[in-house]
Amino acid sequence: MTDAPTIFERIIAREIPADIVFEDDRVIAFRDIAPKAPVHLLVVPKTAAYPDVASLADADPALLAHVVAVAKQLAGEHADGDYRLVFNSGVGAGQTVFHVHAHVLGGGLTEGSLG
């Protein structure tokens, strides 16, 4: 295992550019570079302490609630309030960055799409 910073830590540190749509002292949100829906945003806690949503929920439920609240706010601003909120947990579920993050997907999705 490496202690190298994740891509999200590098975006937070402004070492890698991103199309940032929201930021406060706890989270940052930006457009996914390989969108899977017309609206595809990532909401990322600024701490790298939690690799997945379960560890975040166990250790800091208030931060998880903030991630969800920001996702809802962004869906209202970018996707008419309708959205899917996805957390991938583990390689087998498609997680590639082990720094917890929420995918906010919207923009005319239908049941069974993206599935």
d(CA 114, CA 94): 13
CA–CA separation, 88 and 8 (whole Å): 15
Q: Which of 40, 78, 99, 101 is catalytic?
A: 101
Cα-Cα-Cα-Cα dihedral sign, residues 43, 105, 70, 77: positive
Q: Catalytic residue at 103?
A: no
C-alpha to C-alpha distances, 36 to 46, 78, 88, 97, nearest whole angstrom: 23, 15, 14, 16
**Number of CB atoms found within 10 A of residue 40's CB:** 21
Residues annotated as part of the active site: 101
